[in-house]
């Protein structure tokens, strides 16, 4: 389904990004497994793909650093000649109630989760405009839609990602490029493992399907949006949240 496609997945060393990288590779794409600090884990993801007969490389670049992102896309073009799919998945959280939230905590989340997406969009748009084709999938969050106490920084960044998705979908639509967002709810990863039992139990009461999602649920949706089957879908946010945000 994605044979001969080149995909860049940011933050693919762990969690959702890892599963998305594995899924796109399983469907035939060559995958650039971007990471920031977890080198061993990223190389393990790339090795898993290569051992199964796929094609992947791990590449270190901090999405918040515009210069390293520029270098990453130059490397991808030099080595692989094109970028068909970009999944902006890298993200962090630094939760705190507003009165306790420091400027550093606010800035760190905005720099990675919002500006990091902008940095990648800027580089890939140039490439995809030349190609006159491309699929961009931005990972937002249910928190960007509903808000969440203790996450004003994260909610602002993730709501911003939805706004960027719609704006860029309008900018790039006439050139055969689609731009969509996926807004996961509570998905079982390291990001949610650290939540207290009380927070998890409270979350479950708000989820009609009465369970947390799995990384595969998100990866399948991203794979669909990256495929030809989703050719007429752009500017949308697909909610993979067990019904939490309807």
Choose the binding region for ligand NAP from 89-97, 163-171, 199-207, 226-234 (rule: CB under 6 A): 89-97
Q: Which of residues 101-120 bind ligand NAP (CB under 6 A)?
A: 112, 116
If the CB atoms of residues 6 and 90 are measured against ligand NAP, the closer one turns out to be 90
- Rounded Cα–Cα distance for residues 121 and 105 (Å): 24
CB of 113 to ligand NAP, least distance (A): 6
What tokens appear for 7 in the block? 């995909």
- Give the Cβ contact number of residue 93 at 10 Å: 22
CB of 165 to ligand NAP, least distance (A): 13
| Full DSSP string of the chain | --TT-EEEETT-SSHHHHHHHHHHHHTT-EEEEEESS-HHHHHHHHHHHHHTT-EEEEEE--TT-HHHHHHHHHHHHHHHS---EEEE---------TTT--HHHHHHHIIIIIIHHHHHHHHHHHHHHHHT-EEEEEE--HHHHH--TT-HHHHHHHHHHHHHHHHHHHHHGGGTEEEEEEEE-SBSSHHHHTS-HHHHHHHHHT-TT-S-B-HHHHHHHHHHHHSGGGTT--S-EEEESTTTT-
Q: Applying CB under 6 A, does 13 fall inside the site for ligand NAP?
A: yes
CB of 221 to ligand NAP, least distance (A): 12
CA 148 to centroid of chain Cα atoms: 20
Residues 38-77 vs ligand NAP: string with x where CB under 6 A? Answer: x-----------------------xxx-------------
Choose the binding region for ligand NAP from 97-105, 181-189, 195-203, 228-236 (rule: CB under 6 A): 181-189
Q: Which member of 2, 90, 155, 162 binds ligand NAP (CB under 6 A)?
A: 90
Residues 26-45 vs ligand NAP: string with x where CB under 6 A? Answer: --------xxxxx-------
Q: Applying CB under 6 A, does 155 fall inside the site for ligand NAP?
A: no
CB of 89 to ligand NAP, least distance (A): 5
Task: Sort residue 178 into left (φ over 0), alpha (ψ -120 to 50) or beta.
Answer: beta
What tokens appear for 137 in the block? 């999938």
Active site residue 154: yes
* Contact (Cβ atoms closer than 8 angstroms) between residue 122 and residue 171: no
If the CB atoms of residues 133 and 237 are measured against ligand NAP, the closer one turns out to be 237
Choose the binding region for ligand NAP from 94-102, 163-171, 189-197, 222-230 (rule: CB under 6 A): 189-197
CB of 132 to ligand NAP, least distance (A): 28
CB of 67 to ligand NAP, least distance (A): 13
Residue of 35, 75, 154, 232 marked active site: 154
Q: What is the set of active-site residues? A: 154
Interacting residue ranges for ligand NAP, rule: CB under 6 A = 10-17, 34-38, 62-64, 89-92, 112, 116, 139, 141, 184, 186-187, 189-192
């Amino acid at each position: 389904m994605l044979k001969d496609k080149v995909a860049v997945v940011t933050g693919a060393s762990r969690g959702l990004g890892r599963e998305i990288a594995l899924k796109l590779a399983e469907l035939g794409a060559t995958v650039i497994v971007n990471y920031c600090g977890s080198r061993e884990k990223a190389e393990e993801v790339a090795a898993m793909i290569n051992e199964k007969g796929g094609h992947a490389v791990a590449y270190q670049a901090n999405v918040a650093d515009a210069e390293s992102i520029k270098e990453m896309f130059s490397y991808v073009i030099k080595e692989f000649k094109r970028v068909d799919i970009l999944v902006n998945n890298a993200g962090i959280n630094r939760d705190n109630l507003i009165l306790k939230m420091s400027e550093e905590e606010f800035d760190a989340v905005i720099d990675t989760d919002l500006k990091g997406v902008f940095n990648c969009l800027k580089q890939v748009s140039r490439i995809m405009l030349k190609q006159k084709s491309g699929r961009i999938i931005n990972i937002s969050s249910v928190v960007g839609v509903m808000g969440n106490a203790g996450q004003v920084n994260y909610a602002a960044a993730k709501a911003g990602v939805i706004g960027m998705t719609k704006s860029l979908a309008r900018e790039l639509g006439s050139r055969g490029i689609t731009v969509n967002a996926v807004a996961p709810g509570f998905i079982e990863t390291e990001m949610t493992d650290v939540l207290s039992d009380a927070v998890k139990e409270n979350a479950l009461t708000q989820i009609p399907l009465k369970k947390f999602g799995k990384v595969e649920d998100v990866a399948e949706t991203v794979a669909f949006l990256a495929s030809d089957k989703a050719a007429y879908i752009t500017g949308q946010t697909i909610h993979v949240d067990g019904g939490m945000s309807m």
